[in-house]
Structure 1
Amino acid sequence: MKISSALFLLIYLQKVKTDLQYDSCSYWTSSKGYGLPEFTERRVLNDVTVYYHDSTMRSKIPRPDWINTTAGREEWSIILDWSDYNKDFFTVGLQSATQQFNLTGSLSEQNIYQGSGCCSLSPNGTYRAFLNSAFNGKDFLSLDIYSGTFVAAVPQAALFKTLKERDSDINELAVLYRTRCLDRLKILKQAPGVLIRKVPEVRIVEKQKAGSITVTCHVTGFYPRVVQVVWLGPDLQSVDEGVTDVLPNEDGTYQTRKSVIVPVEDVGEHTYSCVVLHSSVPDNITRVWGGEKAGGMAVWISLVCICLLAAGIGLVVWWCCRTRDAVI
């Protein structure tokens, strides 16, 4: 039983480790009435912006010096060419969605059409990609990159879906996200700042409640953003259904936490491990909590306090006696 559990643990941790990946993402926005540029495009690799352009700029940004290979220069040219196509695509998308939702008058004066596309490469070679768009914050249309067809999330997207599937560039766009995005990912990995790694600081905090103890694994100061935090141990109950939010710190690093509930009767009987996996460390960071150290420390603190209190009382009694003798 113990052997099978250990084997399962090793397989599970390996699976979690493969989730740490490089992401190359693009974000597009076409808007009206929000005081924003009519169109923006941003390309990001692991939180590092490597390309940005919007409709208020007179020209597109020049190719940076760190892209100095032939393949890199070709890829940069493709990015610039597709930027014009993306602007037309999202401008038409905004117009079509506004019309299909029958937004007229004041309702047509403030609307936003957003798109995001990412390709991800895991350490084990697994490759994934997607391309989605939304209108006023709700899913609108997505591109199936394997079939080259669009999927309408709402009936109002059907017209735009039909219109764009007649576009001869759509198949090329699908191929781009199946193959070229991966090539771009390999090239852009050399971008300044992308290879920066900051090791997480991990500490365990406990809070006792009636009948149980909530144990929190606090992880902070890490970069890049992608991280996995896993609690291992018997009879654990996740807090907030195990959802882990990753939040930014003021210095550009990130923080997160994950909590579990340990029954009081299990404290001291089992050990519980918080395992943190991050690209800044080759293996993992593990912090073990068993309750013994916390309980032992509390006992020692109590004993020290009692001794200090006794010494204080003794000192007061001695001083009072000495003062009385002096007066007599």
Structure 2
Amino acid sequence: MYSNVHSLHLYFVASQGFDLPDYFELMTVDDVPVFYYNSNMKGAIPVPEWLSSTTAIKFWDFSTYTAEIDNLKIVKGLKSAAQQFNVTGASKNIYQAHGRCDLRPDGTAQAFLTHAFNGKDFISLDIESKTFIATVPQAVLYKRLRERDQANLELVVYFYHTTCVEGIKEFLQHAPSLCIKKVPELRLFEKKNSAFTEITCHVTGFYPRTVQVQWFGSDMQPVVEGVIEGEVLPNGDGSYQIRKSVVIPAEHTDIHHYSCVVQHSSIPGNITKAWVGKKDSSVMFAVVIPVVAGFLVIIGFGLMFWCCNRREAMGTSRKTFTAEVLLGKATGV
């Protein structure tokens, strides 16, 4: 079975001048939203009914508590960046942070945290050394502000080292939308011109996101040259799609066939769909036509022989009927 890498993403956004809350944050697990907070929300964020375990509830309470603290930190980042870039009077500014942790099949994990101002890298956190790295000179002041609060810095590092991975496990176990696996569907598309043929394997409708798509040649070896691989994209219904193409030179299309093989955690083996070059199809066509033609000739001679004998036996009164049979005009033909 094809193993998955599970990911928890956190998106933090503070802005001014946009039709957005002053601050909001979104948490997703394997691209499925599981937690949302914005600065306009009042009161406690209710715990979902499906989140029933003690550990999961603690994680939810922790996320709710830290959301207000995150709000203060990201808004401070927005103000600091606007001042350092001298754009405090600008009509629109936006400050974003993106945190992520990945849980691999072998139990190991990795994490990172980056910040951006107006769409450009601003600062990042080196989780192992517990230090912020200023990407641009204007970020040095904010770096010092964050590192000055060592207690908070320790909490952030602990979250990405430990709490984040625990959150992945809890949500995978309890969130209904994360417990359902969807089997991928395969379709092959062909595009030709005088120089080459491009065969595209379109894989869609699968969940979780992790999938492996591979083209194999006639020798059952993976195809390396002429392969074009797209990104995994969301469908909008919680499932994903991906396209992977192989470009075949015109002189090779009559001697090769290719197979698209898909592996996904929703299926025990794989799904395979084959494309056959024009030589194989033309050979089949060349064989089928003579056989069918020969068969029709035999039927024609037999029919004529039968009609001649029947004509002598039945007399001229049946000539009209025989002609109708030969011309295919009788009812039921």
TM-score (ref. length: structure 1): 0.79
Structure 2 counterparts to residues 249-268 of structure 1, below 5 A: 249=235, 251-268=237-254
- Per-residue displacement from partner, 1:84-143 (whole Å, max 9, x unpaired)? 2111110011111111111143xx220111111111112232322111111111111111
Alpha-carbon distance in structure 2 between the residues aligned to 1:224 and 1:231: 21
- The residue aligned with 1:182 is 165
Rate the CA distance shift 1:302–1:252 in 2: closer, same or farther, 3 A: farther
Partner Cα distance (1:252, 1:89) in 2: 31
Q: Does 1:128 align with 2:110?
A: yes
Partner of 1:144: 126
State how many pairs are aligned: 293
Aligned match of 1:238: 226
Pair 296,129 (structure 1): closer, same or farther in 2 beyond 3 Å: farther
Matched to 2:226, the amino acid is S
Q: 2:24 matched to which residue of 1?
A: 40
2:10 alignment partner, SS class: strand
Distance apart, 1:285 and its partner CA: 2.3
1:178 is displaced (CA, Å) by 0.9
Q: Which residue of 2 aligns with 1:161?
A: 143
**36-45 or 278-287, larger mean C-alpha shift:** 278-287
- 1:90 paired to 2:74: yes
The residue aligned with 1:8 is none
The one-letter code matched in structure 2 to 1:223 is: Y
Give the structure with higher Rg (CA): 2
Alpha-carbon distance between aligned partners in 1 of 2:279 and 2:255, rounded to the nearest angstrom? 12
Q: 1:110 to 1:295 in 2, by over 3 A?
A: same
Q: CA deviation at 1:265?
A: 3.0
Query: What is the percent sequence identity of the aligned residues?
Result: 44
CA 1:278–1:139 in 2, change beyond 3 Å: closer, same or farther? farther
Q: Is the 8 A contact 1:268 1:291 kept in 2?
A: yes
Q: Report the AA paired with residue 283 of structure 1.
A: G
Tell me the equivalent position of 2:197.
213
User: For the Cα contact (< 8 Å) 2:226–2:248, is it kept in 1?
Assistant: no
- Partners of 1:53 and 1:60 within 8 A in 2: no
Task: After superposition, give the CA deviation of every residue in 1:194-227 in whole Å (9 maximum; x if it has no partner).
Answer: 1111111112222222232111111112223333
The 3 A distance-change label for structure 1 pair 50 and 252 is closer
User: Deviations along 1:262-297, whole A, 9 cap, x unmatched?
Assistant: 123333544433222323223332323342687349
1:103 to 84, 87, 98: 87
* Cα shift readout 1:43-97 (whole Å, capped 9, x = no counterpart): 1111221111101111242112222222122222211121121111100111111
Partner SS, residue 179 of structure 2:
coil
3-state secondary structure, aligned to 1:103 = coil
In 2, the alpha carbon distance for the partners of 1:25 and 1:282 equals 28
CA RMSD of aligned residues (A): 3.1
Alignment-mate amino acid for residue 139 of structure 2:
A
1:76–1:264 CA distance, 2 compared to 1 (3 A): same
SS at match of 2:122: strand
Tell me the alpha carbon deviations over residues 242-277 of structure 1, each in whole angstroms, 9 at most, x when there is no partner.
341333335443222111111233335444332223
Distance 2:287 2:25 in 1: 58
The alignment status of 1:299 with 2:285, answered yes or no, reads yes
Q: Which runs of 5+ in 2 are unaligned?
A: 294-322, 328-333
Which stretches in structure 1 are left out of the alignment for 5+ residues? Answer: 1-13, 308-317, 323-328
8 Å Cα contact 1:146-1:178 kept in structure 2:
no
Q: Distance in 1 between matches of 2:231 and 2:288?
A: 37
SS for the counterpart of 2:231 is coil
One-letter identity of the residue aligned with 1:212 = F
Supply the distance in 2 between the matched residues of 1:43 and 1:269 (Cα, whole angstroms): 51
Deviation at 1:236, TM superposition (A): 4.9
User: For 2:265, what is the secondary structure of its paired residue?
Assistant: coil
Alpha-carbon contact 2:114-2:124 (below 8 Å) kept: yes
TM-score, with length taken from structure 2: 0.78
